[in-house]
């Protein structure tokens, strides 16, 4: 057995044992698809670096193959342009814009999508092509279409898929617009490996009623939740957030606009009615983002900063006297008022994890709710 085959088998065993791989057909895909064909060189994160440093791991060097089968997300592009091969000396910093998602997550998502033989599937975010290859192995080439936004990434994925012997239909373009050549109700399933601030209307028309959409909701505060929606009619869908902690890089057209360096400005001060640290927790940060979707969150613990670049509104918290907290707000949107109200509603519901939330989507409105469709909710910024 080659080293690669051995590492694939070890990974498949580990993912079966921990309950990730439950379907033998997906285990077969995990054991067959050689992830190294989709990576070449990749970036490794420099431990404890701030801002995060990325060191290229070159194809064939010591630890390269082991790193590929270590079940980690491997970044392959920074800032929409820098690839590992471009870095000739030391480490670099930047925002990850393409990667090969960790195998356990990709395989878990393919299973959560409840894909069946014969289904026609649209994937948004080809990236390295590894998840596409797993899908093509399981479904057959002619059932899968994958869209990648970045032409350089798309070309590399196409070459890798060809070398690996898979021939799904590949598109370079904006996957938020769906498949430009497909009509309405073409697909049974849609899976996105980039996240979205709201569900694109094209997806709701191209997936058949009864079909499913699996996508991560995220936003400008970097909080995320994975949702599985069922299309209920043309342009409508409903579903729930799933257990676990899933995040993906945001779809490029949904990313926040460029902003200047933060300048903290004076404003009105008052006591905070919530512990600001709660918006640093997984679900708390997501609830805060639902309440203030145009705000970026910075800071940590009791010292949180929210900044809405579209209006210039700011909120910043700090420990106050007597063990409490204060907030300073300025600008037309009282960001902390909104966040505080949302967090208190969530706390009144018992601070449930995201899996107690759902999303209902129509042409008029996209709403995230707690508990049931008629429960407390927030509109997404469509
Ligand atoms: C996390 S990576 C995908 C990982 C991939 N599935 C894999 O296994 O290698 C996300 C990808 O989504 C792409 N992307 C971002 N916005 C997109 C959009 N609007 N349409 C299609 N692809 C997009 C990025 O360029 C990036 O390559």
- Tokens representing 170 are 């590949």
106 close to ligand 1 (CB < 6 Angstrom) = yes
195 close to ligand 1 (CB < 6 Angstrom) = no
- Rounded to the nearest angstrom, the distance between the alpha carbon of 149 and the centre of ligand 1 is 7
Its pTM stands at 0.96
Which of 194, 206, 247, 251 has most ligand 1 atoms within 8 Å of CB, for mutation?
A: 194
Please give the Cα distance from 244 to 28 (Å, whole number). Answer: 24
Which ligand 1 atom is nearest residue 175's CA? 20
CA dist 123 → 34, 78, 138, 382 (Å): 19, 22, 14, 22
List the residue whose alpha carbon is closest to atom 7 of ligand 1.
Answer: 100
Alpha-carbon torsion 90, 93, 94, 98, what sign? positive
Beta carbons within 8 Å of 74's beta carbon, 6+ residues apart: 39, 42, 43, 44, 67, 68, 99, 100, 128
pLDDT tens for residues 128-152? 999 999 999 999 989 999 999 999 9
Answer for the pair 142, 163: CB distance below 8 angstroms, yes or no. no
Average pLDDT of the segment spanning 91-103: 95
Percent of the chain with pLDDT over 90: 94
Q: Let me know the angle formed at the C-alpha of 361 by 352 and 209, rounded to the nearest 5 degrees.
A: 115
**Cross-strand pairs, 304:** 299
pLDDT tens for residues 34-56? 999 999 899 999 999 999 999 99
């Amino acid at each position: 057995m080659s080293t690669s085959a051995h590492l694939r088998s070890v990974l498949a065993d580990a993912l079966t044992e921990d309950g990730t791989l439950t379907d033998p057909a997906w285990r077969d895909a995990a054991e067959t698809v050689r992830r190294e064909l989709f990576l070449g060189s990749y970036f490794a994160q420099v431990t404890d670096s701030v801002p995060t440093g990325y060191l290229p791991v070159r194809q064939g060097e010591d630890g390269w193959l082991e790193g590929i089968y270590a079940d980690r997300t491997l970044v392959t592009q920074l800032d929409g342009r820098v690839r590992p091969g471009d870095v000739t000396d030391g480490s670099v910093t930047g925002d990850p814009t393409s990667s090969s998602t960790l195998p356990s997550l990709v395989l878990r998502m393919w299973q959560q999508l409840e894909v069946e033989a014969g289904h026609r599937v649209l994937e948004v975010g080809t990236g390295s092509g590894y998840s596409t290859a797993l899908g093509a192995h399981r479904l057959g080439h002619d059932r899968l279409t994958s869209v990648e936004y970045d032409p350089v990434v798309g070309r590399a994925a196409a070459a890798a898929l060809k070398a690996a012997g898979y021939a799904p239909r590949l598109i370079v373009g904006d996957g938020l617009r769906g498949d430009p050549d497909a009509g309405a109700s073409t697909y049974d399933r849609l899976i996105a490996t980039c996240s979205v601030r709201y569900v694109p209307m094209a997806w709701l028309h191209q997936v058949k009623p009864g079909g499913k959409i699996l996508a991560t909701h995220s936003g400008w505060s970097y909080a995320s939740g994975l949702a599985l929606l069922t299309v209920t009619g043309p342009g409508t869908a409903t579903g729930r957030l799933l257990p676990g902690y899933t995040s993906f890089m945001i779809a490029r057209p949904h990313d926040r606009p460029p902003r200047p360096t933060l300048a903290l400005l004076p404003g009105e001060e008052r006591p905070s009615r919530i512990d600001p640290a709660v918006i640093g927790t997984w679900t708390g940060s997501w609830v805060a983002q639902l309440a203030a979707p145009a705000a970026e969150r910075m800071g940590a613990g009791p010292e949180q900063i929210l900044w809405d670049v579209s209006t210039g509104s700011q909120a910043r918290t700090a420990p106050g006297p007597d063990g409490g907290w204060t907030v300073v707000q300025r600008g037309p949107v009282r960001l902390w008022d909104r966040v505080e109200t949302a967090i208190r509603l969530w706390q009144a519901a018992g601070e449930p994890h995201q899996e107690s939330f759902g999303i209902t989507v129509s042409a008029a409105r996209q709403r995230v709710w707690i508990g049931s469709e008629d429960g407390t909710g927030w509109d997404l910024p469509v």
